[in-house]
Amino acid sequence: MSDLPAGAEALPNVLAEGFETTRRAPPGVLVVFGASGDLTARKLLPALASLSRRRLLDPAFAVVGVARTPLDDESFREQMSAAGAPGDTGWGETVSKSRYITGDYADAATFASLKDALDKLDTDLGRTGNRTYYLATVPSMFEKVADGLGAAGLNRAGPGGGAVRIVIEKPFGHDLASARALDAGLHCTFDEEQIYRIDHYMGKETVQNVLALRFANAIFEPVWNRRYIDHVQITVAESLGVEKRGGFYERAGALRDIVQNHVMQVLSLTLMEPPSSIEAQGIRDEKVKALRSVVVPTPAQVVSEVVRAQYDSGWSEGVSVPAYRQEPDVDPRSNTETYVAAKLSVDNWRWAGVPIYVRTGKRLPKRLTEVALQFQRVPHLVFAVAESQELRPNALVLRIQPDEGVSLRFGAKVPGQAFQVRDVLMDMSYGSSFLEEAPEAYERLLLDAMVGDPTLFIRSDEVDLAWQICEPILHAWQDRPVPLAGYAAGSWGPRQADQLIQRDGRQWRAP
Ligand code: BG6
């Protein structure tokens, strides 16, 4: 999808453990800031080890971990080794070349040590100069790290050339102003082409499949509009509570944590116009156009069309669980929302008049993300009412996770003498349709960043628009006493969310 960086090799359909691919990470260094943290241990190192197992890392590739926690090279290498598969000699070599630097992100000495380490690695690895900086730190450090890299001259390619990129984890800003300030700060040291903003939902195979389903098939696109679709439902449900992240979640809440990023990404892929090609610019331009068409809610609309709620104690997967306000690091009088449901509308020719209902919450009955397109009823039902009670309008459901797949609901005749009809499901499941195991989201995104393919990363104007849609909701919640509803842990959310959709004569899906 894009130019390969220095030394990157295009492989002619290499089959690595059953995975067909045409590209792999180029020689060079991945520098992980926040290397002693949770994200590095849980996601980044296992993703790198998996890339190695699939032979998608170049032999001349190394990792440099940077963090404030004092560690030495050996301990970091042990942590890396533990993430790999036993007997993966390629990973063993990557581990043996890797380094760890202890330092404060505000201290120029940290970046001087990093520069020395990178210069040395460059010589050892064959002077490729390819560098990817991954900021897995707390968000308040993003700009500091970028500044430190800039001050040390590490933001630009060295004399030998090579690609230099910076990957920024979410959340990108706390509101529109802070997102813009962060963007302006990053642009002081890095060009937009060098900045890769992550939303790990874009790395999910099934999120990318929204594009495949829509644009690789002739049958869906003609009906993908207001003439056939009654409404769209996007659900991001989690059964987990806030776990040990109470401190972070208190300042975020469900709107910032899930709606501003994951929901907006899935929504833009669902609503966008067909791009002229699968190239990064084409896709991102269309996503931006779609977001621009989403109607920014007025304060009055927030009151009537957005529900916020917080979980109470209840039962989750057979276990009694505490209320949000009793979770560790949560204020016992907290007003942070753990659930949001909203009715959005889109002002363009394709979607005018089609409500987009979105909902997300923690401590719901199960983990489930899906996009459901609910079609209109047939214009005239020829079957007797008594014979068609179990017939519902067609629905196309894109199951993002778990049980990844796509299902189409349609009416069929029940075998027998009568003419009874009811709906049935036609189901495609990833598990049984493909032999290939889907790469984990971080694996895909790490490889894309190192190869220099920005298609699945969030461009500056996308982040800005997503905030423009969500921020008025936050403001309305602050400015007016919008009630915070409650719901029992393990339920599908508050009664007010049901009323929101029932007012329009519709129902939430009960997946
Ligand atoms: C993260 C949120 O971005 O996404 C978490 O911060 C949430 O609160 C997680 O649990 C959900 O990701 P996934 O991939 O499990 O759906």
The pLDDT confidence band at residue 19, using thresholds 50, 70 and 90, is very low
Percent of the chain with pLDDT over 70: 95
Nearest 5°: CA angle at 436, between 430 and 442?
85
pLDDT of residue 177: 97
pLDDT of residue 22: 62
pLDDT of residue 128: 79
Other Cβ atoms less than 10 A from the Cβ of 385: the count is: 7
CA-closest candidate to residue 306, choices 174, 175, 466, 473: 473
CA-closest candidate to residue 7, choices 133, 182, 161, 180: 161
Task: Inform me whether the pLDDT recorded for 171 exceeds 80.
Answer: yes
Q: Closest residue (by CA) to atom 13 of ligand 1?
A: 201
Mean pLDDT of the region 119-124:
89
pTM: 0.93
pLDDT tens column, 82-111: 999 888 898 999 999 999 999 999 999 999
Give the lowest-confidence range in 326-330, 397-401, 507-511: 507-511
The pLDDT confidence band at residue 20, using thresholds 50, 70 and 90, is very low
Atom of ligand 1 nearest to the CA of 249: 8
Task: Inform me whether the pLDDT recorded for 482 exceeds 80.
Answer: no
Determine the Cα–Cα distance for residues 52 and 87; give it in Å rounded to an integer: 12
Query: Which of 174, 257, 338 maximizes ligand 1 atoms within 8 Å of its Cβ, making it the mutation to test the pocket?
Result: 257
pLDDT of residue 504: 97
Atom of ligand 1 nearest to the CA of 257: 6
Atom of ligand 1 nearest to the CA of 236: 16
Q: Find the residues whose C-beta lies inside 6 A of ligand 1.
A: 170, 238, 257, 369
Query: Which of 258, 261, 266 maximizes ligand 1 atoms within 8 Å of its Cβ, making it the mutation to test the pocket?
Result: 258
Ligand 1 centroid to Cα of residue 367, in Å, is 10
Ligand 1 centroid to Cα of residue 200, in Å, is 8
Q: Amino acid identity of 372?
A: A
pLDDT of residue 11: 40
pLDDT of residue 416: 92
Ligand 1 centroid to Cα of residue 44, in Å, is 15
Distances (CA, A) of 341 to 202, 236, 309: 22, 10, 9
Catalytic, out of 174, 187, 262, 380: 262
Atom of ligand 1 nearest to the CA of 201: 14
Task: Inform me whether the pLDDT recorded for 460 exceeds 70.
Answer: yes
Mean pLDDT of the region 99-127:
93
Q: Closest residue (by CA) to atom 6 of ligand 1?
A: 257
pLDDT tens column, 284-341: 999 999 999 999 999 999 999 999 999 999 999 889 999 999 999 999 999 999 999 9
pLDDT of residue 437: 82
Determine the Cα–Cα distance for residues 29 and 133; give it in Å rounded to an integer: 8
Task: Inform me whether the pLDDT recorded for 134 exceeds 50.
Answer: yes
Q: Closest residue (by CA) to atom 14 of ligand 1?
A: 201
Average pLDDT across the chain, whole number: 92
3-class SS at 37?
coil
Mean pLDDT of the region 154-164:
88
The pLDDT confidence band at residue 222, using thresholds 50, 70 and 90, is very high
Q: Which domains does the chain have, with CATH numbers?
A: 27-162 (3.40.50.720), 204-377+460-502 (3.30.360.10)
pLDDT tens column, 21-34: 568 888 999 999 99
Ligand 1 centroid to Cα of residue 238, in Å, is 8
Residue 262 annotated to the active site: yes
For residue 339, report the phi and psi dihedrals to the nearest 5 degrees. Answer: -145, 140
Query: Which of 200, 207, 255 maximizes ligand 1 atoms within 8 Å of its Cβ, making it the mutation to test the pocket?
Result: 200
pLDDT of residue 123: 87
The pLDDT confidence band at residue 452, using thresholds 50, 70 and 90, is very high
Ligand 1 centroid to Cα of residue 263, in Å, is 11
pLDDT of residue 6: 53
Atom of ligand 1 nearest to the CA of 261: 3
Ligand 1 centroid to Cα of residue 205, in Å, is 16
Mean pLDDT of the region 159-174:
92
Strand order across the beta sheet in which 99-102 lies: 99-102, 61-67, 28-33, 131-135, 164-168, 195-197
Other Cβ atoms less than 10 A from the Cβ of 262: the count is: 22
pLDDT tens column, 184-195: 999 999 999 999
